[in-house]
Amino acid sequence: MKLPLHDRFIEQAIEYVSQDQRLIGLLAGGSMMYGEMDEYSDLDLIIVYNYAFRNEIMEQRFQIAERLGHLLSAFTGEHVGEPRLLICLYGPAPLHVDLKFVQLEELESRVENPLILWERGSGIATILSKTSPSQM
């Protein structure tokens, strides 16, 4: 099934992420990873960043989310035990997007093998090929 709303958002996200030199990748998990998306699916995206910019990126998560599309609302994921997560609602056509911000090295410990939508260099692909997901 073709999902124009989701596809447009991903295209915009790749365009932004690829222009920010602090960011080194955009990955997708969840239903997109399994090829099970429908018009009601959310997007589970992982933004991978250079460790040198950790504090800056974590402080600017909301501004980054705003640059990806028309952000209506967002909140952090501490209530689900994931402080790296921003739970976002974009519009005007509603789209729920979960944005997880991780450092490259954090990909070594994961519960799934995300799809690489874009990466700078080959560090992400290397880590994903040399490590396996594990149940946490």
CA dihedral 5, 11, 14, 20 (to 10 degrees): -100
Query: What is the pLDDT, as a whole number, of residue 98?
Result: 97
pLDDT digits (tens, 9 = 90+) for 43-91: 999 999 999 999 999 999 999 999 999 999 999 999 999 999 999 999 9
Going by pLDDT thresholds of 50, 70 and 90, the confidence category of residue 10 is very high
pLDDT digits (tens, 9 = 90+) for 83-114: 999 999 999 999 999 999 999 999 999 988 99
Query: What is the pLDDT, as a whole number, of residue 1?
Result: 54
State the Cα angle at 95 between 33 and 76, rounded to 5°. 85
121: left (phi over 0), alpha (psi -120 to 50) or beta: left
Query: What is the pLDDT, as a whole number, of residue 122?
Result: 95
pTM above 0.75, yes or no: yes
More confident residue, 37 or 125: 125
Mean pLDDT value of segment 33-46? 89
